[in-house]
Amino acid sequence: MNIKINNKKIECEEGKTILQVCKDNGINIPTLCYQENLEPEARCRLCIVETKDGKLITSCSSYPKEGMEIKTNSEKVKRARKVNAELLMPEHMDKCFRENKNHDLCRLIHELGIREVRFDPKKKYKVDLGASVIRDDNLCINCGRCVAVCDKIQSTWAIDFAQRAHHEHVTPYSEKNLNDVACIKCGQCIAACPVGAISEREHLQEVLKVLKDKKKHVVVQTAPSIRASLGEEFDLPPGTLVTGKMVAALRRCGFDKVFDTNFGADLTIMEEGSELLKRIKENKGFPMITTCCPAWIKFMEHFYHDLIKNKNMSSCKSPHEMLGSLIKTYYAKKANIPKEDIIVVSIMPCTAKKFESTRPELKSGVDYVLTTRETARLIEHFNIDFKNLSDEDFDPVLGMSTGAAAIFGATGGVMEAALRTAYELATGKELKSVDFKETRGLDGIKTGKVDLDGKKIRFAVANGLKNARELLKEKDKFDFIEIMACPGGCISGGGQPLPYEKEKIKKRIEAIYEEDKRLPLRKSHENPMIKQIYEEFLGKPLSKKSEKLLHTRYFKRSPF
Amino acid sequence: MSLLLKELKQIQGKKGYISEDSMKKLSKKMNIPVAKIYAAATFYSQLHTKPQGKHIIEICNSPSCYLNGSLNIIKYLEKKLKIKSGQTTEDKRFSLYICSCIGCCDKAPAMKIGKEVYTSLTKEKIDEIIKGLK
């Protein structure tokens, strides 16, 4: 098909929108509500272009026709775009000018040359202070990105538009707070929001306070995926591994010990792998489903009660909770510090972990959870020159980890790590190639088979909860299932650096697998410190002490 | 979606409004997320998600009525019933809403109470109508 864009002849395929055609040809059109891979909402009206007869159409939802002539940057388009942006949200813009925040909308306002607020702000709306996700309706411009993500990617349906015209606003049903509905706290809406109307519940001030307190022994642990993403907040290219710099920076912030959640991940594999072998021996409890992702756990508690009844869920706590428990017991005893004086801070890519640490049944060892973004703010608060720090190592014992733990941050990583250990524990043979290629990649659902000493284990991996719903429809076809709520795994979690781009996520994942390759030990059970902790403290996997410290229970929650 | 509207209208017909509980029940029955049901129920001004007064007064504020002084009538009603538009009186007798054109432009200003239409409104006429309602 031949069309003309800005007087230039362009050939285009059928089935692509005008916006996509323009993007392919290097023509920039500003968008706000548009999200790749999701159906266009055509709400924000910023992507308008002019047709030959002077009509303005939204390029995200219109398709080219033979002989069409389009102008993407005429005076008419420019003027309309500017007014549309001005109308979107006067109050937000007012705040933009004052605080110069770095959101998509603020960037657009700058690009479109808007320098003053001409329209009256809309009326005041409420601020929803959730346990881990905060929603400020006053900043919202009704673009619908959060609603689309909650609906089409997570299939959680916690929020939708209510009322219409100028009363229209995003809300959980009956104007409830996110805390009181089936919101899983995954934070994907934070990642989608172009105006910062949704954000994480900060624990930063609390952490700064305990760091000042001389009586407290403050311990920090960092999740597997932080080291591949934190650098982005300091203008390093995506996919830069900053493990050493991160440890050095955290020490300079005043943390007494810097431990690695990867140790907890290795421990999770020992417990979960043993649980799988136990289930194989008893031949019941299939499929077994991983429980590292707190957003998935909450999702399951709301919508899949039969998985609790049939004991399909592994009873393992998530890695940072395991490590939290150990810090308050094993480490406290070893370092001779009273448990009450130890404060554990987890640095996580995740907002659901904030909710998880408040679960009463966990008797959580973790006191505060910081997201990757908060951590960057913490480091900035202490004026640390992150880029030029020299590398440092984690503190010993609870800071040692293997390549199996490193890949926990990517979808399929937990499965691959568990298979490496389960294979060797079940067969007693050495695993020659530790790479399970079937578990890797960004596909929504991945499946495969592995032979564990005569028993064929059919495994499946899902990321994004809509995919999880699809997978669970045929769960009986599998023995071992890994589910992570965020598309791509923790590496694109709700607490990771903004904005989200698929290319960035890919680079972060590459970095994580690079870290796995780089490490001398790549199977969790080979970690000498894991062996030591079982000998000295826990006994063996699934022992009474392990059960008490490292395992948990699940509860049914209302699906509404 | 048209099925959903039918159900919502039925519930409202029976109970006068669509309660949180009915939304949850309907969500289970139709396998539609409750947030979407709430979205539909609040989109249409004829559907209510809060208990309504015995008499629902809808007063038109579209151009013809507006030009014939509907704002004065609205203000008078608000003062008389001691509520703002969009609210329900404490004794649960009246709910007051501003609505769009009800097709009585020739006899503006106009309003609806339940299914009954009242036209060429004046303050005196309002007094009489309210008095006549039980």
Contacts of A368 (CB under 8 A, 6+ apart): A203, A206, A207, A210, A343, A344, A345, A346, A357
pLDDT exceeding 70 applies to what percent of chain A?
Answer: 97
pLDDT value at position A197?
87
Interval B18-38 mean pLDDT: 95
- Tell me the C-alpha distance between A471 and A287, whole Å: 12
Strand partners, B45: none
Sequence ranges of the domains in chain B:
2-43, 55-132
Mutate to test the interface with A, among B23, B38, B49 (most CBs of A within 10 A): B38
pTM of structure? 0.89
- In the sheet that holds A455-463, the strands lie side by side as A288-289, A480-484, A455-463, A445-452
Q: Do B39 and A159 touch (CB under 8 A)?
A: no
B133 or B95: which carries more pLDDT confidence? B95
Q: Which of chain A's residues have a Cβ under 8 Å away from the Cβ of B23?
A: 173-174
pLDDT value at position A97?
62
Q: Which of residues 9-68 of B touch A (CB under 8 A)?
A: 20, 23-24, 27, 33-39, 42-43, 49
- Tell me the C-alpha distance between A176 and B55, whole Å: 28
**Cα(first)–Cα(last) distance of chain B, in Å?**
37
- The list of chain A residues with pLDDT below 50 reads none
Strand partners, B39: none
- What pLDDT, in 10s, does the model give residues A490-515? 999 999 998 788 889 999 999 999 98
Choose among A162, A181, A560: nearest Cβ to B39.
Answer: A162
CATH match of A127-200 with 3.30.70.20: yes
- Tell me the C-alpha distance between A36 and A499, whole Å: 13
pLDDT exceeding 90 applies to what percent of chain A?
Answer: 71
ipTM: 0.84
Nearest to A365 by CA among A262, A275, A261, A266: A261
Nearest to A287 by CA among A154, A424, A462: A462
Per-residue HEC secondary structure of A120-186 comes to CCCCCCCEEECCCEEEECCCCCCCCHHHHHHHHHCCCCCCEEECCHHHCEEECHHHCCHHHCCCCCC
Sequence ranges of the domains in chain A:
2-85, 127-200, 204-550
Q: Could you give the residue numbers annotated as active site of A?
A: 272, 275, 292, 314, 353, 356, 361, 490
CATH topology of domain A2-85: Ubiquitin-like (UB roll) (3.10.20)
CA atoms within 13 A on the CB side of A138: 12
Nearest to B45 by CA among B31, B35, B60, B34: B60
Instruction: Give the pLDDT band of residue B1 (cuts 50, 70, 90).
Output: low
Contacts of A68 (CB under 8 A, 6+ apart): A3, A4, A51, A52
Q: Do A160 and B49 touch (CB under 8 A)?
A: no
Return the CATH number of the domain spanning residue range B55-132: 3.40.30.10
Task: Establish if A431 touches chain B: CB-CB under 8 angstroms.
Answer: no
Contacts of A260 (CB under 8 A, 6+ apart): A221, A222, A394, A398, A399, A400, A401, A405
Interface size A-B, in CB pairs within 8 Å, comes to 36
Return the CATH number of the domain spanning residue range A204-550: 3.40.50.1780
pLDDT value at position B82?
93
How is A12-32 classified by DSSP, letter by letter?
--TT--HHHHHHHTT-----S
